[in-house]
Amino acid sequence: MRQPLVAGNWKMNGSRASIEMLLNGLKSGIGAVRVAEVAVCAPAIYLSDVQSRLQGTAIAWGGQDLSAQASGAFTGEIAASMLNDFGCKYVIVGHSERRAYHHESDATVAKKFAAARAAGLIPILCVGETLEEREQGVTEAVVKRQLDAVIELEGVTALADGVVAYEPVWAIGTGRTATPEQAQEVHAYLRARVASQDADVAAGLRILYGGSMKPDNAKELLAKADIDGGLIGGASLKAEDFLGICTAAND
Ligand code: PGA
């Protein structure tokens, strides 16, 4: 059985004060969440605060991006070893906002996946199509290309050390969620794609859904056979909403 994972992606939101409040809320409510694994991916500059508050709790934490390089003259970048230094378990790679605004190619994202893995971090590889791509009927071709970049660089077994998140770009932050059927279709496609190369890796791979997931739509999405959790943006900024999604993953 795949253990569900609910991961928050705070993006570039919050302040020291608001994050302290959010973490206190999460800490006091997390006891009721039995089944799902829970993590929050924080802005890097707050990881020290997150670590000191979450250490010893059931909530893991991670970064939102990392450099493909190990160290050196890369101003502004954050290395996998630095995320390790602050106790991160996860790191998001290839979020559509990084792909769109920072021009990260599939090849760059694959290198970041490899860098995370080499450091013992669990990369959460984001894939997903834009609205235009969905309307053109090329959703599967897009997610295949994004997934295959990692498989080509590292081999299919590398996915055993990671997590995939299907995040249709048109559903992110828009309030427009993919229907459970739409999401399941792509999740099943991704799993079949992996299974065509390694059935065991496919069976163990957690594929999260992301895109306007909220407490009131989480249950239906998470009930689908190939949806193994969520990557939550907006709703991860309120303890009550985030915990509501975690609770939905319990059922
Ligand atoms: P959202 O973001 O939940 O606000 O749609 C999800 C994400 O971008 O990871």
pLDDT tens per residue across span 46-101 = 999 999 999 999 999 999 999 999 999 999 999 999 999 999 999 999 999 999 99
pLDDT for the residue 32: 76
**5 phi-psi bin (left φ>0, alpha ψ -120 to 50, beta other):** beta
CATH topology of domain 5-248: TIM Barrel (3.20.20)
For ligand 1, whether the C-beta of 211 sits within 6 Å is yes
Q: How far is the C-alpha of 130 from the C-alpha of 63, rounded, in Å?
A: 24
Q: Write out pLDDT tens, residues 142-191.
A: 999 999 999 999 999 999 999 999 999 999 989 889 999 999 999 999 99
Domain-wise residue ranges, the chain = 5-248
- Which of 231, 236, 241 most suits a substitution to test ligand 1, by most atoms within 8 Å of the C-beta? 231
For ligand 1, whether the C-beta of 218 sits within 6 Å is no
Mean pLDDT of the chain: 96
